[in-house]
A = this chain, B = another copy of it.
């Protein structure tokens, strides 16, 4: 048996952990023990290449820690778009810091990294157990958030000035990259400040993370919009319901919601190009479906069909500007059916922020609770420049650099996507 390609994924530490953990009633993770996980096919690149196994550290409490809890000051910052469960992660970090480790203080930084840049004038928030005890009942983030870059030097200046020992950063791909830059600046200055990431993205497109928190909740809510589109489509002769869902680069929400509510006839995602016209195109297939059943539901991830647009450049934050694919589809349907003199009724639903601003469901709550706890265990143990992930049902620690190498995408050559196609009945290729 050939040796499998392995990927070493051990994380950095600020220094040796020498202080006995104050935790009780827990199973400490043996120091230096590693886990070997096979990398799931869906997480590989499109050709199925790459390492087959990953060697990493299991998340959890360590018997010896790096920081002296009663003298430790932690900070939490939330960046980027909202997602169900952010408040649960905040709450879990605060409760674990205070109740389990009994740290000196946890402060909240307002409005993302802006809160560490003095010119914005945002004040810090003291995060006591009392202050966060009920925040999980509300969507969003009690700390507020913001987008865009902040100068790394000023951020680290503030951390120094505020005597922060551990910075917990909850955010997406951009935030994790910022976390890495901050950790590097900290190292350059030879400071002993840990930077721990908790990956957050509604699109579920983070490499080496099976499922990001809030995804389940968002899918649940997205199915409501699909059910409405189905009802509307059924309610009119040749009724067409179109639902736009989040998913700039990856179609996970669209695909999962399609699997969850079996009423979708076409799902369009960024990973699978399609044509509108031509004998295999969407329009011909839509016409066939209407002839056969009298109604149709189309689910569109916002980043689908970008191959149909010219390059639209990037916005101020450096994100690619997306063409409005739903608008194009609506217009082309109009032209196509007009040219064939086929009457139809089209209802367009864009639930937008409704699926991301809600409180987390029970499953995501439990997940967020563990993410927060493991983030604190990591931080107290002196780990840095890393994030907490869940892979194959296990919580692990991974270096940020590994995770930000690429985005996770839905593999169209997987049985997962086959199941989606099977559920919709759409052709595997509409090109």
Query: Which residues of chain A have a CB within 8 Å of any CB of chain B?
Result: 24-27, 40, 60-61, 82, 91, 95-96, 99-100, 111, 114, 120, 122, 133-134, 136-141, 144-146, 210, 216, 219-220, 223-225, 227-229, 231-232, 234-237, 239, 256-257, 259-262, 345, 347-354, 357-358, 361-363, 365-366, 369-370, 373, 391-394, 413-415, 418-419, 421-423, 425, 428
Contact = CB atoms under 8 A, between A and B. Distances in A.
Given A40-B393, A224-B354, A236 B361 contact: no
A365 B27 contact: no
Contacts of A361: 220, 361
Per assembly, the copies of the chain total: 4
Contact of A228 (B145, B261, B358): B358
A361 B223 CA distance: 10
Given A25-B428, A111-B236, A418-B27, A363 B219 contact: yes
B366 A260 contact: yes
20 contacts: A24-B428, A27-B414, A27-B415, A122-B237, A133-B262, A140-B231, A219-B362, A224-B354, A228-B358, A231-B358, A235-B357, A256-B362, A256-B366, A260-B363, A260-B365, A349-B352, A354-B354, A369-B419, A373-B419, A391-B393
Most chain-B CB neighbours within 10 Å: which of A234, A261, A357? A357
A262 B91 contact: yes
A348 B354 contact: no
Nearest to A81: B235
Nearest to A82: B235
Contacts of A353: 228-229, 232, 347, 349
A228 B365 CA distance: 18
Most chain-B CB neighbours within 10 Å: which of A139, A260, A345? A260
A231 B138 contact: yes
Contact of A27 (B26, B82, B358, B413): B413
Ranked nearest first, the 4 interchain pairs of A and B with the lowest CB-CB distance are: A228-B357, A140-B231, A260-B362, A220-B362
Given A82-B235, A366-B256, A423-B369, A354 B114 contact: no
A320 B210 CA distance: 40
A257 B210 CA distance: 22
